[in-house]
Amino acid sequence: MDRIIKGMRAPVCEIFYSIQGEGIFAGSPCIFVRFSGCNLRCEWCDTKYAWDVRKAHLMSVDDVYKKVSNFNCRRLVFTGGEPALYDEFMFQFMKCYRFLYFLETNGTIFPEKSISLFHHVAISPKLEYIKEDVIKKIIGGNCNVEFKFVVRGEEEIDRFMEWVKDLSLTGFPLIFQPLFEDNVDYIERTKKIADHILRIGADFDVRVLMQQQKIIWGGRRGV
């Protein structure tokens, strides 16, 4: 353990074991390490409770390992908040412990040290905060990449599609995920989004996928 930077801590919101509810690995059992703190403040964010680092648990690399080693699983997802804020911490953890590593990021911060150690990265761009230079670095980082777009309806789909084509990203899996809101019929919203995708057509890897964890457990945390 002398390889770990002494005294390094990161604000961790929660650690839990569940199925991956989103993206191309949906349904796969995974360990989730959710960091606190985010550089964005999206009004529809479903993990706003992870924004405030003052409410987090300050944990060392060893602390995190002691928690995740309780679960019989080799897939480990760093999520947030925005995990790329803690690039050095992730790097220190990943070089010491053998898991199959996944990253969920908004794509606005480049995790320079840890990027090459990830098996898979899910980038979820936000239309008002897109940083194309960072996204280009991530997709060149020697890992598998998918794009996940959280959308309410047709206009957002069309804007994301235009952006994907402009950046020549049609070779990556493109996941359109209907936004889950308590006051909206989730099935009906998904039907409208699926109908629009079928209507505009796409000769590349486009998928409409619901948030499985929302369907199964609703708004519960830690699932």
The pLDDT assigned to 79 comes to 98
The 10 Å Cβ neighbour count of residue 172 is: 16
The pLDDT assigned to 223 comes to 80
**Angstrom distance (rounded) from CA 110 to CA 19:** 26
How far separated are the first and last CA of the chain, in Å rounded? 31
Q: Which two tokens stand for residue 85?
A: 């804020």
Q: Which two tokens stand for residue 112?
A: 């320079």
Q: Tens place of pLDDT for every residue, the chain, 223 residues?
A: 445 565 789 999 999 999 999 999 999 999 999 999 999 988 889 899 999 999 999 999 999 999 999 999 999 999 999 999 999 999 999 999 999 999 999 999 999 999 999 999 999 999 889 999 999 999 998 789 999 999 999 999 999 999 999 999 989 999 999 999 877 899 999 999 999 999 987 788 999 999 899 888 887 888 8
Alpha helices (H) along the chain: 61-68, 87-96, 132-139, 154-166, 186-200, 212-217
Residue 56 burial (C-beta neighbours within 10 Å; 0-12, 13-18, 19+): buried
Among 144, 141, 209, smallest CA distance to 180 is for 209
The pLDDT assigned to 3 comes to 53
The pLDDT assigned to 1 comes to 42
**Angstrom distance (rounded) from CA 62 to CA 8:** 10
Identity of residue 179: L
**Angstrom distance (rounded) from CA 8 to CA 90:** 11
Calculate ∠ Cα 18-143-173, nearest 5°.
70
Every domain of the chain and the residues it spans: 10-217
**Angstrom distance (rounded) from CA 71 to CA 160:** 37
Identify the CATH number of the domain defined by range 10-217: 3.20.20.70
The pLDDT assigned to 6 comes to 58
The pLDDT assigned to 220 comes to 80
Q: Residue 105 is inside which H or E element, if any?
A: strand 100-105
State the pairing for strand pair 29-35/75-79.
parallel
